[in-house]
Amino acid sequence: MLKTSFLPYQLQLKRPSGTSRGVLTTKDTWVVKVRDDARPQIVGIGECALFRGLSCDDRPEYKAVLQSLTPNLPPVDELFTRLKDYPSILFGMETALADLKNGGKRIIFPSDFSNGKSSIPINGLIWMGTKDEMKLQIREKIEQGFSCIKLKIGAIDFEAELELLKSIRKEFNASDIELRVDANGAFAVEEALEKLHRLSDLDLHSIEQPIRAGQWESMRKLCSETPLPIALDEELIGVNDLNAKKELLSTIRPQYIILKPSLHGGFSGSDEWIQLAESLHIGWWATSALESNIGLNAIAQWCATHHSSLPQGLGTGLLYTNNFESPLTLIGDKLTYDVNRPWGIHL
């Protein structure tokens, strides 16, 4: 019999960070532990990384769902059905069960990455802020060795953001620095195409979610006419049925999709998205969503099994003052797993 427990944990950000959901100073999460009565000394650990205001499972009954899984875990096939619309809980359970299966050593998806023999290229993330604040962050990322930078736009005046991007391009051309931007749905439908044309003059790689999610026909038209590749992100949240996923992708036909396992159906749901996208010749990459190192580790190991050549949008574990110590290490713009560094999870 498998036994489960959930422990609330509040992550403390080192500095207030601007997101599309406002400025964050803390991030609540739950650590899940799974034990097998037959091997009680081995503990599988995962993270139910709810993102308040963004996750489709940000519901009043969230804690009740967690409680329904304790202390005895339902059969695994039943579990996946029950948690289909609770991606952050499914994400945590998938991680903990895989960890338990692999000996409770935080090895979720064994590969050359988890063996310390390969690395994952990642983009440098620039948080929303004033023009000067964002420019300082960009300079820091370039000095750290990042060749791909992602900027969140839509928080300040569009003209100011355009000037910021132009100033980067004056110093670094597209062969030096790949630029991705994320609008988080900030553009109005009637002005989106014109803004995309202006942005496309700056040799950007892509733009995430230019208009608000849920406007399929407008997004379809935009994706068919855009001069700049469009990547869907928030558009995928809450679309957990396989047929609905097919309908969304075949209708909108984006150039890319961006997968966040804790938001987009766990690893099983994200794998569904990948299979559908590749069948339609749609590109993809993965992104973390402010998880602790427990969740980040699982996402990084999952990414490594897919062998994507694109820089992934993975965090570095350095956002929080009280994150869990882990073997995840950043060398330049490469995320690595240092097998000589121990885990530090004391709960």
| Catalytic residue chosen out of the listed positions 27, 141, 150, 152 | 152
Residue 58 backbone dihedrals phi, psi, to 5 degrees = -80, 80
pLDDT single digits (tens) 18-35: 665 667 889 999 999 999
Q: For the chain, what are the domain ranges?
A: 2-101, 120-337
195 catalytic, yes or no? no
142-158 CB burial, b ≥16 within 10 A, e <16: beeebbbbbbbbbbbeb
Q: Dihedrals φ, ψ of 122, to 5°?
A: -130, 160
Q: How far apart are CA 259 and CA 178, in angstroms?
A: 20
Q: How many CB atoms lie within 10 A of CB 294?
A: 27
| Full-model pTM | 0.95
Q: Is 304 helix (H, G, I), strand (E, B) or coil?
A: helix
- The CATH class given to the 120-337 domain equals alpha beta
Q: DSSP states of 210-243 as a string? A: -B-TT-HHHHHHHHHH-SS-EEESGGGTT--SHH
156-211, pLDDT tens digit by residue?
789 988 998 998 898 888 988 999 999 999 999 999 999 999 999 999 999 999 99
Catalytic, out of 27, 141, 150, 260: 260
Q: DSSP 3-state assignment of 266?
A: helix
pLDDT at 204: 97
Query: Has 3 been annotated as catalytic?
Result: no
pLDDT, residue 20, reads: 58
Between 3.40.50.300, 3.20.10.10, 3.30.390.10, 1.20.140.10, what CATH number should domain 2-101 receive? 3.30.390.10
Which residue is listed with tokens 């081995």? 42
User: Please, which pLDDT band fits residue 127 given cuts at 50, 70 and 90?
Assistant: confident
In Å, what is the CA distance from 94 to each residue of 11, 47, 333? 21, 9, 28
Given a contact cutoff of 8 angstroms between Cβ atoms, the answer to whether 73 and 3 are in contact is: yes
13: confidence class by pLDDT, cuts 50, 70, 90: very high
